[in-house]
A and B are shown apart, each in its own frame.
Chain A
Amino acid sequence: MTQRIVIDPITRIEGHLRLEVELDEARTITKAYSSGTMVRGIEIILQGRDPREAWAFAQRACGVCTTVHAIASIRAVEDALGIRIPKAANIIRNMIIAQQYVHDHVMHFYHLHALDFVDVVSALAADPKKTSDIQQSLSSWPMSSPAYFADVRKKVQAIVDSGQLSLFSNAYWGHPAYKLPPEVNLLAVAHYLEALDWQSHVTKIHTIFGGKNPHPNFVVGGVPLPIDMNGDQSLNAAKLSVIADSIAKINQFVDQVYIPDLLAIAPYYLDYAALGEGLGNFLTWGEFPGEDIADLSKYVVPRVLILNRDLKNVVVPDPRDFERMKEFIAHSWYTYQKGDQAGLAPWEGETVFNFTGPKPPFQQLDVAGKYSWLKAPRWNETPVEVGPLARVLAMYAVGHKPTVGLVNVVLDKLKAPASALFSTLGRTAARGIETKVFSDLLTGFFDELMEEIKGGRTETFNGEKWDPSTWPRRAQGFGFMEAPRGALGHWVVIEGGKIKNYQMVVPTTWNASPRDHKDQPGAYEASLVGTHLAVPDQPLEILRTIHSFDPCMACAIHMIDAEGRSAGEVGTGFNVVCPD
């Protein structure tokens, strides 16, 4: 007798991510199905456009990940047209990317993921004095007095009294799977609120380098901001000092708040060090290139493929290898001219919709057939996981010293074996580890930039191939960014000065993909198997693992419901289906 549980947040437009899991009699997940119920049509919009403006459309593909798509797009076009960017421009891009990681990861941790482990209501029972003692034992962060925590507790009380708890994401307060003492809960809630203030310091880097915020500018061939100490619309001494101050604030929060919190919370949830990994295969496209983006040996995050958790024998995947980089659609709502069993490389990609699913509202997907709007990207017909865990394992595998050191500190602190990395907790820890590594990189990049400026090497734009008359009749390119959520690839084909074909394979497509032509599950689907649910209609355990991936689905739809009607919640539309 299996139970089928469906988690499908009802949203105004088709849902985001729908998960169906099957439970055995002991309430343990035996099978999981992940369905992306939103389709992206960026490829259709970009055909026939000027490749130099593709980034401006690509960045709208996802509401929040604007920077990552812009960077992957300009890199794809530069790759196709053989454009080399100046060294200073590369350093500035690396700073923008590092900032993006830190901002995104900290906000994800406090505003989405921490609440899977932190019980906001329990914080009301905390003793402010004890909370203060814990904070002072963790770090030298200044906001740590008993009076301060008493004040935070009062704020939380006001939120609870006003019935606006929905702000805090989920509705499972009091669930038996919450294990933290009230004081640690209060600490985390205080930092949830502090992170909101912190983010206004963080975005200054993007505002300055991109010339405006929100939606900073990017340019094929470099960065749009000239360096001129005497200009007022350029990168000058005053702006450099704002950036230096911003980096200091970023680093302080990571060092004194985020990492200590992670290490304070994790020991209460060590059961998640043995749960939630799944595939054991990991892929990175690599990040933080040196001056020559074609020289893979200079990347901080290497471009690697890890199979079966084997960190000793990693290989370098070639994104231009059409035989291995393919997307499959056996269980996806698309058709290929070559049929459902075929796989297509992104440069040959086809985006032809073929919805065969049930009309909503429906109880269950037909998982034997097609059941998702996501294609199934595979490397050499093998499913892989992408994201922070993949990157930390990649840096660890090639002996990146700061990463190796931090991984060892974390494992030691948790008294956990190295195998604990391959888990939900490992994934969440990896996000923290890379945040620390990348925030430290920011300081290094800033120093590098100052060296370039001192040496008078201030070019930030290479316009040699700006004019389409200099382009070949046909060109194709690959652009990437290791987005916060994982390896992002953009593949572009340019013909006669216009975009002929454009395909994206985004991190969540790798991770949230449905089964493929060989019935192999994707990373989400594999990660949930074996997880036990304490209370099936409050599947907190599922959220913990799925949130550890930081899903990014159909993030770009929002309107205001004029009548203030709630559009449901995780757990609404939740039904336990007992098959006959």
Chain B
Amino acid sequence: MSGPDRAIVLGLGNLLNRDEGLGVQCLEPLRNRLGSVAGIEILDGGVLGLDLLPLVECARALLILDAVDARKPPGTLIELTGADIPLFGRAKLSWHQVTFQEVLQLAAMRNRLPERLHLVGVQPADLSIGLELSPEVAAAMPALIEHAAAVLAGWGFYG
């Protein structure tokens, strides 16, 4: 079976809320870790919601990096693959509440989910206003980067 020829790494989160910005904060270290690998696009998705749908739908392999609330101790590494990633939506009061799960749900509804979908994240400790990661999450960063690199290697992209 041939692997995908392109992979997208999408970092999600809000940089202004400390650990919430984790997915975006780890993109630069990941770039440095991988060097230049043909076929990988590393993108800062911020919290753009539905604007990310075209990106998600054009990816055959998608690795999401994000803060994840799994009700585990802060700094715990969390990994979800394809079918384990919940696609639920919820009622919205604001257009701005479109969560990334809903983007995935829309892609699924349109039969355009990436064939390979993987999420690597960390349980956050502090979501208050600020640019610095909490010590627990900052300490988990190297493991997160290695983990992301391993997922990409598993898809045939070696950094």
| 30 A-B interface contacts by CB (under 8 A) | A12-B69, A16-B96, A42-B16, A57-B15, A61-B16, A63-B96, A64-B47, A66-B48, A111-B95, A112-B92, A166-B90, A167-B102, A167-B106, A167-B109, A199-B51, A199-B54, A214-B43, A214-B45, A543-B93, A555-B96, A555-B97, A556-B47, A557-B20, A558-B13, A559-B13, A559-B67, A559-B68, A560-B85, A560-B86, A569-B90
Q: How far is the CB of A118 from chain B (nearest CB, A)?
A: 15
Q: How far is the CB of A453 from chain B (nearest CB, A)?
A: 29
In B2-23, which residues have CB < 8 Å from any A CB? Answer: 12-17, 20
What residues of chain A lie closer than 8 Å to B124, measured between beta carbons?
A: 559
Q: Is B134 an interface residue (CB 8 A)?
A: no
Q: How long is the Cα–Cα vector from A490 to B67 in the complex, in angstroms?
A: 30
In A1-44, which residues have CB < 8 Å from any B CB? Answer: 7, 9, 11-13, 16-17, 39-42, 44
Binds B, one of A84-92, A416-424, A474-482, A546-554: A546-554
Q: Is B151 an interface residue (CB 8 A)?
A: no
Q: How far is the CB of A510 from chain B (nearest CB, A)?
A: 16
The answer to whether residues A108 and B109 also contact, given A557-B47, A560-B85, A560-B121 and a CB cut-off of 8 A, is: no
Q: What 9 pairs between A and B have smallest CB-CB spacing?
A: A555-B96, A564-B86, A63-B47, A41-B129, A569-B91, A562-B70, A200-B54, A166-B89, A556-B14
Q: Is A159 an interface residue (CB 8 A)?
A: yes
Q: How large is the interface on B (under 10, 10 to 19, 20 to 34, 35 or more residues)?
A: 35 or more
**Are A552 and B106 neighbours in the complex by a CB distance under 8 Å?**
no
Q: Is A170 an interface residue (CB 8 A)?
A: yes
Interface string of B9-52 (1 = CB under 8 A from A): 00011111100100000000000000000000001111111111
What residues of chain B lie closer than 8 Å to A179, measured between beta carbons?
A: none
Q: Is A270 an interface residue (CB 8 A)?
A: no
What residues of chain B lie closer than 8 Å to A560, measured between beta carbons?
A: 66, 68-69, 80, 85-86, 99-101, 119, 121
Closest A residue by C-beta to B86: A564
Q: How large is the interface on A (under 10, 10 to 19, 20 to 34, 35 or more residues)?
A: 35 or more
Q: How long is the Cα–Cα vector from A159 to B14 in the complex, in angstroms?
A: 31
**Are A108 and B95 neighbours in the complex by a CB distance under 8 Å?**
yes
Q: Is A519 an interface residue (CB 8 A)?
A: no
**Are B119 and A196 neighbours in the complex by a CB distance under 8 Å?**
no
Q: How long is the Cα–Cα vector from A57 to B14 in the complex, in angstroms?
A: 10
Q: A112-B92, A214-B45, A558-B13 are in contact. List 7 more A-B contacts (CB 8 A).
A: A164-B109, A169-B91, A215-B44, A553-B93, A559-B121, A560-B101, A560-B121
**Are B14 and A60 neighbours in the complex by a CB distance under 8 Å?**
yes
Closest A residue by C-beta to B80: A562
Q: How far is the CB of B2 from chain A (nearest CB, A)?
A: 27
**Are B46 and A167 neighbours in the complex by a CB distance under 8 Å?**
no
Q: How long is the Cα–Cα vector from A155 to B110 in the complex, in angstroms?
A: 9
What residues of chain B lie closer than 8 Å to A571, measured between beta carbons?
A: 91
What residues of chain B lie closer than 8 Å to A62, measured between beta carbons?
A: 96
**Are A553 and B14 neighbours in the complex by a CB distance under 8 Å?**
no
**Are B91 and A64 neighbours in the complex by a CB distance under 8 Å?**
no
Q: Is B53 an interface residue (CB 8 A)?
A: yes
Q: How long is the Cα–Cα vector from A66 to B96 in the complex, in angstroms?
A: 12
Q: How long is the Cα–Cα vector from A39 to B2 in the complex, in angstroms?
A: 49
- Choose one: A164, A200, A561; the contact of B89 (CB below 8 Å): A164
Q: Is B127 an interface residue (CB 8 A)?
A: yes
Q: How far is the CB of B143 from chain A (nearest CB, A)?
A: 17
Q: Is A240 an interface residue (CB 8 A)?
A: no
**Are B15 and A558 neighbours in the complex by a CB distance under 8 Å?**
no
Q: How far is the CB of B18 from chain A (nearest CB, A)?
A: 11
